[in-house]
Structure 1
Amino acid sequence: MSRSDPHLRTPSGKSRLRSFNIALDGTPGRFNAITDVPGVAVGYTTLIAGGGPLQVGIGPVRTGVTAILPRPVGELATPVFAGVFSQNGNGELTGTHIIEETGAFNLPVTITNTHSCGLTRDGTLRWMSRVLPAALDSAWGLPVAAETYDGFLNDINGHHVSFEHVASALDGATDGAIEEGSVGGGTGMISFGFKAGSGTASRIVEWQDRSYMLGVFVQANFGKRRNFTIRGRHVGPELAEPAIREGTPRAEKGSIIAVVATDAPFLPHQ
């Protein structure tokens, strides 16, 4: 693999896990990303500004919006089969009731910080009314919007995410290689005491002599350093401090949003 190989580095040159010669199971798709699933696109708006002590309404700003399109823009009104699972029920996720009722959903998915979740939901509807107005002419819109909390690094009560930022992430959604880490909704996230955020991967799955693509995208914001595990090895206790945040340790709490996409058939007629 070359240094420009998307399995090793993101488009901006950030190292991915495989660049450290850590063996991983399975065969990834071309970009090792959720965008390996045909028709899926991802876009980001990343907001980084200011530093120093918190001043509500001013900063520091470390947040953003992630947009995931399950179909090309012109086909977003066409539903895709879907399901939803919550391990502990703490995170907010709009649009889940219709998924549980019908087993399907349409329109883009957005992921952001906890206090901007409603805005990205509404921003998605505003964007849809601009790019595909016929989709909302005679039907309701119940887009999926998800959140994790970035208030330890971000001025979350300053409400720095705007409708324009949502539209920018949606307009910028693309297939192919995508960024990871401190981008989009993951900009202000922490996992296992490290700076975390947005991550993605894909695997080719063989079933009855046919190949299908499975792609995953996560916004990670959870975990204590001592619990960090790689390839079954409990490496957290061996890793040097200091932790990402100085001062009184915060209580162990957090969350992760995972979006899974596939082109495998869900029903026999597909």
Structure 2
Amino acid sequence: MDNHLTAATRGRARARELGVVVGALPTGPLNAITDVEGVLVGHTTLDDGADLHTGVTAIVPRQLTAERRALPAAVYAGNGYGKLVGSTQIDELGVLESPVVLTATLSAFRAADALLTYLMDRSPEGISFNPVVGETNDGFLSDIRRRPITERHVLDALEGASGGLPAEGCVGAGTGTTALGYKAGIGTSSRRPMIEGAAGGEGGAVTVGALVQANFGGVLTVGGVPMPVEELVPGAAGEEPVGNSCMIVVATDAPLDARQLARLARRAIFAMGRVGASYSNGSGDYAIAFSTASPELPRLPDAGLNPLFAAVMDAVEEALLNSLFTATTTTGVRGRTRHAVPYDRLPRTGAGQQAG
């Protein structure tokens, strides 16, 4: 596993390191979903350097315990062309009862069975569980029909999940994904907006974190500037990927109910448009949002949600850019190649901001 393989280790950089700054809100210390206290991330990467480029990414809220079996949550389907296991129960009950696992489309069902093993081991008396598994189709670069994900791969990602800055780019469930014509992968970001009525009614900063598995079509747009791959990478235009999708996971420590979290999840999908998403017919675009806040805290009023909406939009946009900027050029099955974003053509939107 490579939970904390940094972009610098791979010779690639995050958006802010490249002078691309999204919005004015401060980030958390790591600028990652793990800035939300108790939210852990784990990866298992399968890459044989030839036909296999895939893996598993697990988002594990430590607040889910034997004493607290569920967290407020919501799902929003921007376009339902996908296999999001467990989503209807989240819709019905407004709660998340398991970690969120991400993987490749044809491995989603094996991953769900493995996640069920994980949940049963932690609740020996339980008789009903709702494992949540999202997916995107990495079949352009990886031999997806091999369905190589095993129970051990999923358990390794879950059991190895930790805090700190998660690895991004070609890692875990993003190992073989592509977006906007370029090689993409896993990306993450966070924001710390000030909210009236937070911190038990006194007001203060809350944290919103996002993690994305980017694998969708369109024209990459950075700070409003289009970066079409066919113009910037000679010879890169060609066969389009099979299947286009995006999985977005949003975590926050703000005290919100399921209805309010659904409003955040919708904004997460809207943020894809900022980076040039086409929202095509075959794109399964989903966002899952959950809150880790203590159930003892009073729920925030709807009138106070605007800073959270801005935080979600900015965090998701930057996470998507990070998923692209940290990814490396990859050649996969049948010799297909997706190129990394060329740094020398990026517009600089700012000199960078300090973490909050």
TM-score, normalised via structure 2 length: 0.65
Query: Following the alignment from structure 2 to structure 1, what is the Cα–Cα distance between the partners of residues 42 and 119?
Result: 15
1:55 matched residue in structure 2: none
Residue equivalent to 1:147:
135
Task: Report the CA distance shift for 1:66/1:98 in structure 2 as closer, same or farther (over 3 A).
Answer: same
Aligned residue in 2 for 1:57: none
Instruction: Give 1:50 shift.
Output: 4.4
- 1:239 matched to 2:237: no
Q: Residue 172 of structure 1 is aligned with which of 145, 160, 169?
A: 160
Partner AA of 1:232 in structure 2: G
SS of equivalent to 1:176: coil
Kindly tell me: are residues 143 and 252 of structure 1, through their superposed partners in 2, closer, same or farther at Cα, counting changes over 3 Å?
A: closer
Q: Aligned pair 1:262/2:252, yes or no?
A: yes
Deviations 1:100-125 (A, max 9, x none): 11111111110000000011111011
Per-residue CA deviation, residues 11-63 of structure 1 (Å, 9 max, x unaligned), is 73541111111232121101111010111000000000142xxxxxxxx1110
Separation (CA, whole Å) in 2 of partners of 1:109 and 1:23: 28
Counting aligned pairs with the same residue, the percent is: 38
Bigger relative contact order (CA 8 A; separation at least 6): 2
RMSD: 2.2
- Are 1:123 and 2:114 counterparts? yes
Q: Could you tell me how far apart the structure 2 residues matched to 1:153 and 1:192 are?
A: 15
Q: Structure 1 residue 128: deviation in Å?
A: 2.4
Distance 1:102 1:11, change over 3 A: farther
Structure 2: any 5+ residue segments left out of the alignment?
197-202, 258-296, 300-356
**CA drift at 1:74:** 4.2
Q: Distance in 2 between matches of 1:20 and 1:192?
A: 19
Summarize the alignment of residues 31-46 of structure 1 with structure 2, pairs less than 5 Å apart. Answer: 31-46=30-45
Report SS of the residue matched to 2:106.
Answer: helix
Residues 76, 106 of structure 1: 8 Å contact kept: no
Write the deviation string for residues 49-83 of structure 1: whole angstroms up to 9, x where unpaired. Answer: 142xxxxxxxx111000111122574596211001
> Is the Cα contact below 8 Å between 1:116 and 1:159 reproduced in 2?
yes
- How many pairs does the alignment contain? 247
Does 10-19 or 173-182 show the bigger shift?
Answer: 10-19
Cα distance per residue 1:219-252 (max 9 Å; x no partner): 000124xx11001112226523332xx7x52278
CA change 1:76–1:141 in 2 (3 A) is farther
Please tell me the residue identity of whatever aligns with 2:15.
L
Q: Which of 17, 20, 28 matches 2:18?
A: 20
Q: For residue 262 of structure 1, report the CA deviation from its aligned partner.
A: 0.3
1:222 equivalenced with 2:216 (yes/no): yes
Q: Relative to 1, partners in 2 of residues 1:142 and 1:11: Cα closer, same or farther, differing over 3 Å?
A: farther
Between the aligned partners of 2:233 and 2:39, the Cα distance in structure 1 is 38
Give the match's secondary structure for 2:75.
Answer: coil
Cα distance in 1 for residues equivalent to 2:161 and 2:28: 19
Alignment check: 8 A CA contact 1:77 1:106 kept: no
Judge conservation of contact 2:181–2:220 (CA < 8 Å) in 1: no
Task: Identify which of 61, 69, 72 aligns with 1:81.
Answer: 72
1:135-171 Cα offsets, whole Å, 9 max, x none, are: xx13411111011001111111111111110011011
Partners of 2:119 and 2:129 within 8 A in 1:
no
User: Contact 2:39/2:60 (CA < 8 Å) preserved in 1?
Assistant: yes
Question: For each residue in 1:177-206, what CA deviation from the matched residue of structure 2 results, as whole angstroms up to 9, or x when unmatched?
Answer: 110001111111011221111110000011
Runs of 4+ in 1 over 4 A off after TM superposition: 72-77
Partners of 1:11 and 1:179 within 8 A in 2: no
Once residues 67 and 53 of structure 2 are traced to their aligned partners in structure 1, the CA distance between those partners, rounded to angstroms, is: 30
CA distance in 1 between counterparts of 2:163 and 2:207 reads 14
User: Are the structure 2 counterparts of residues 154 and 23 from structure 1 closer, same or farther at C-alpha, using a change threshold of 3 Å?
Assistant: same
Q: SS of the counterpart of 1:42?
A: strand
8 Å CA contact 2:137–2:242 kept in 1: the answer is: no
- Under a length normalisation based on structure 1, what TM-score does the superposition of the two structures give? 0.85
**Rounded Cα–Cα distance in structure 2 between residues aligned with 1:71 and 1:181:** 24
